[in-house]
């Protein structure tokens, strides 16, 4: 009799345990929401979408706002499906994190307004204003002789991050050709100064080592700057010194996107 009782108790416990497990699974599944945003499917948790009270998504999930469903029964929102990833990342992280080179601030601000996320909208607009301010400020890079700053090349651009990229590229090229790096040249915020920057008889300026070993021409560094600019989507606006008659012989380059 005792054995039967124990067996029954064990079966009841297992049923109760299985019932609890299935309830937990059910709760977990119902906490997952699939959204169809402009044809792109996103799966996330209910608590993520309802993070900001009175937002559009919170209203949809809690039944305050009517939202159509697609053929598979998912919420359908007729907005930009690609940009929604940034909306969702903001809901997950609580801060605006965008990939390097992001250029769709105006569109993202509109999406943030639609989804009634004022904090995100303000963050995007603030970022946009800072980029516009920076774009109006021309930044430069000077490649020059440490003994004579009139000898060299100046690169102008309205994108500070691009100037930094060009500088790192030129330093990389120079480093690969200079055995005595970094003794042969120094780098500061906007200037690369070569220790021996000598003008040859045919007019080509050369970067030389102390023992007159040939390293590279200034035109090589100029070519690297132009190629980097084109690959990044910039165009050569003009040569700032047109008296030379050729970009190859100019002392300055001006890039703009």
Which pLDDT score is estimated for 146? 65
For residues 203 and 195, the answer to whether their CB atoms sit within 8 Å is no
Average pLDDT over residues 96-119: 92
CA 114, 116, 118, 123 dihedral sign is negative
Which of 107, 134, 161 marks a domain boundary? 134
Average pLDDT over residues 56-72: 96
Give the angle 84-87-92 at the CA atoms, nearest 5°: 125
pLDDT at 185 over 80: no
- Measured distance CA(41)–CA(144) in Å, rounded: 54
Average pLDDT over residues 99-114: 91
Do 125 and 204 fall within a single domain?
no
Which of 134, 150, 178 marks a domain boundary? 134
Of 142 and 183, the structure prediction assigns the larger pLDDT to: 142
- Measured distance CA(198)–CA(19) in Å, rounded: 85
Domain count, the chain: 2
Closest CA to 235 of 135, 143, 166, 157: 157
Torsion angle, alpha carbons of 120, 122, 126, 132, to 10: 90
What proportion of the chain, given as a percentage, has pLDDT over 70? 64
Which of 134, 162, 188 marks a domain boundary? 134
Mean pLDDT of the chain: 76
This model's pTM is above 0.85: no
- Which of 60-74, 120-134, 199-213 has the highest mean predicted lDDT (pLDDT)? 60-74
Do 106 and 213 fall within a single domain?
no
Which pLDDT score is estimated for 147? 64
CA 136, 137, 143, 144 dihedral sign is positive
Average pLDDT over residues 27-33: 67
pLDDT at 34 over 80: yes
> For the stretch 216-248, what's the b/e string if a residue is b when 16 or more beta carbons lie within 10 angstroms of its beta carbon?
bebebbbebbbebbeebebeeeebeeeeeeeee
pLDDT at 39 over 90: yes
């Amino acid at each position: 009799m005792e054995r039967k009782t124990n067996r029954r108790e064990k079966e009841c416990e297992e049923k109760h345990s299985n019932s609890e497990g299935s309830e937990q699974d059910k709760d977990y599944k119902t906490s997952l929401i699939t959204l169809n945003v402009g044809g792109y499917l996103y799966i996330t948790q209910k608590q993520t979408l309802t993070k900001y009270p009175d937002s559009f998504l919170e209203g949809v999930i809690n039944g305050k706002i009517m939202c159509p469903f697609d053929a598979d029964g998912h919420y359908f929102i007729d907005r930009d499906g690609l940009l929604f990833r940034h909306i969702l990342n903001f809901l997950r992280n609580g801060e605006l994190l965008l990939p390097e080179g992001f250029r769709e601030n105006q569109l993202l601000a509109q999406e943030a307004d639609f989804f009634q996320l004022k904090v995100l909208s303000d963050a995007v607009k603030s970022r946009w204003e800072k980029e516009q301010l920076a774009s109006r400020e021309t930044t430069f890079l000077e490649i020059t002789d440490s003994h004579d700053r009139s000898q060299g090349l100046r690169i102008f651009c309205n994108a500070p991050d691009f100037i930094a990229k060009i500088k790192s590229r030129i330093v990389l090229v120079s480093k690969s050709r200079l055995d005595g790096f970094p003794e042969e040249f120094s780098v500061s915020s906007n200037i690369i100064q070569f220790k021996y920057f000598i003008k040859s008889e045919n007019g080509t300026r050369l970067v030389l080592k102390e023992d007159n070993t040939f390293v590279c021409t200034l035109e090589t560094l100029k070519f690297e700057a132009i190629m980097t600019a084109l690959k990044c989507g910039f165009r050569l606006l003009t040569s700032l010194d047109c008296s030379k008659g050729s970009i190859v012989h100019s002392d300055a380059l001006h890039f703009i996107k």
